[in-house]
Structure 1
Amino acid sequence: MAKAKIPGKRPQVAAKPQVAVAGQTVAVEPSAPKKRTSIPQFFSQVRAEGRKIVWPTRKETWITSVMVFIMVAIATLFFWIVDFVLAWASQLVLGIGA
């Protein structure tokens, strides 16, 4: 419920929020509203962040690709074996297809 305004009386300033951390009370400053960024400034920031990107070398890309293909082959072999064993076990238990 909102408080009624009384003419001639100044509103009281709210106390700073406090947080208890490990037995100590710490005052927390309210964050200031963020300033809006203009469109040209936004694009200049995007270009500045783009310059920070470190691209992998051709050798790093090759090694990473080979490792991915090896892991895919291992995962394929593993799941094929698991599928084969489970199919064999289900046929053994159910007695179909034997």
Structure 2
Amino acid sequence: PVIMSCPKTRGIFRINLNQSIFQKELVIDGRDYTSIQSLAIDWLHRNIYFVNTRLQSIDVCRLNGSFCYILLHQTISDYLPQRIVLYPEKGYE
């Protein structure tokens, strides 16, 4: 599957490529996710991490869209990254 964000539809979607048919499934509701700059998938722990420029935060949710919370919230935009990359084998330190 492909995980993508779409500002027009305001959400994060899972797209299953089944032959030539696109099956789109909403993973995370887009109420507060209209400005996703970057996202990264942690397949080992089944999490989605993303940079939300509107809320100036780095958020994480389970791959099924549950248990969403803000990891980092900055009031100064200079400290908010534009891209995010994970190293899941290293874990959290």
TM range (shorter): under 0.3
Structure exhibiting the larger radius of gyration computed from Cα positions? 1
When the two structures are superposed, what TM-score results if normalisation uses the length of structure 1? 0.17
When the two structures are superposed, what TM-score results if normalisation uses the length of structure 2? 0.18
**Higher fraction of helix:** 1
**Which protein has greater RCO, CA pairs closer than 8 Å, 6+ apart?**
2
